[in-house]
Amino acid sequence: MSEPLVSVEGLTKHFVHREGPFGVRKRPIKAVDGVDLEVHPGETVGLVGESGCGKSTFGRVVLRLLDPTAGSIRFEGQDITRLDAAALRPLRRHMQIIFQDPYSSLNPRMTVRATIGEAMRIHGLVADDAEEEARVADLLAKVGLRPEHASRYPHEFSGGQRQRIGIARALAVRPRFIVCDEPISALDVSIQAQIVNLLGELQDELGLGYLFIAHDLKVVELVSRRIAVMYLGRVVELAPSAALHREPKHPYTRALLSAVPVPDPKRERARIVLEGDVPSPLDPPPGCHFHPRCAIAKRGLCDREVPALRAIGEGHQVACHLAE
């Protein structure tokens, strides 16, 4: 396999939660708790899990938009874990993010041309106005927008079009890695496939690596070569998409998959209902974080010992004491 584009080891991000009078009592919120993951050039790795399990935090720490508490991040072999802002600046353009809500991430007072052009200018990628104009037109065409859209403002566009603008802005700096943080969750179903297809075409053309975040396994399955399933800050299963679909090993993955409709009713999976809510990362259950919701949890083991992520098949890893 190629050298990883992005490689993280033991990545951890704790926020501080303050409570009590004057916030004197401090407790860690373990949003991301020791994650290992690689993304290769041209590859999409899906990251899936319920809301609040740490997906966005993970994506932001990988991009060094947040500082990690522990662990390491490498980009194309270079350790960027502790680089300061000045040292990070030239690397920023290679690592971009596309947000769930394209509207809140676009400046309402800037035209599309200014929004896309700004990113290119900041990174010194265009020599003059004429070149900038030409490249903006080029990018708009690439994401399926028309040249006259350049002079319009974000509020003049639909949700799907705004997401295209967000993608054009991310592409403007010719990145090699993009964190797609729930890029289609806020869009109408009819538009979702268009954006997914667009991201796929751009990946093929430009050889981009994606970390594709979603709370919906259906979406992630569609786009990813490999999938990491996250639960309360930890990866509980990592596998090639097809293997995860065919042979999910972790009880949590099985529960997520059982909620996905299968086209053939004869093959319908027994529906596993996930009982209870996701526990708070302020008070994660001891041992396997999933044990209070797990139908096969073994007392004395699952509630005491943290299951390590271990290999169980070709490229397939699971963190469960009982999986085989």
Ligand X SMILES: Nc1ncnc2c1ncn2[C@@H]1O[C@H](COP(=O)(O)OP(=O)(O)O)[C@@H](O)[C@H]1O
Least distance to Mg ion, CB of residue 52, Å = 8
Q: Which residues of 271-307 are buried (b: 16+ CB within 10 A; e: fewer)?
A: eeebeeebbebeebeebbbbbebbeebeeeebeeeeb
Two structure tokens written together for 22: 């004057």
Of the ranges 7-15, 56-64, 183-191, 266-274, which one interacts with Mg ion (CB under 5 A)? 56-64
Two structure tokens written together for 5: 């584009």
- 290 near ligand SF4 (CB under 6 A): yes
* Residue nearer to ligand SF4 on the CB measure, 61 or 288: 288
* Residue nearer to Mg ion on the CB measure, 56 or 163: 56
Report the distance separating Cα 102 and Cα 162, nearest Å: 6
Two structure tokens written together for 200: 């796929």
Per-residue contact flags (x/-) with ligand SF4 for residues 246 to 265, judged by CB under 6 A: ----xx--------------
User: In which element (H, E) is residue 301 found?
Assistant: none
Neighbouring CB atoms inside 10 A of 30's CB total 22
- 52 near ligand X (CB under 6 A): yes
Alpha helix ranges (H) inside the chain: 55-62, 85-92, 112-122, 129-142, 159-171, 189-206, 217-223, 241-246, 251-258
* Residue nearer to ligand X on the CB measure, 57 or 317: 57
Two structure tokens written together for 66: 């947040």
* Residue nearer to Mg ion on the CB measure, 56 or 241: 56
Least distance to ligand SF4, CB of residue 306, Å = 9
Cα-Cα-Cα-Cα dihedral sign, residues 122, 126, 132, 137: negative
- 308 near ligand SF4 (CB under 6 A): no
Least distance to ligand X, CB of residue 136, Å = 31
- 28 near ligand X (CB under 6 A): no
- 88 near ligand X (CB under 6 A): no
Q: Report the interface residues with ligand SF4, using CB under 6 A.
A: 250-251, 288, 290-291, 294, 296-298, 302, 307, 320-322
Q: Report the interface residues with ligand X, using CB under 6 A.
A: 15, 29, 31, 49, 51-57, 281
Q: Report the interface residues with Mg ion, using CB under 5 A.
A: 56
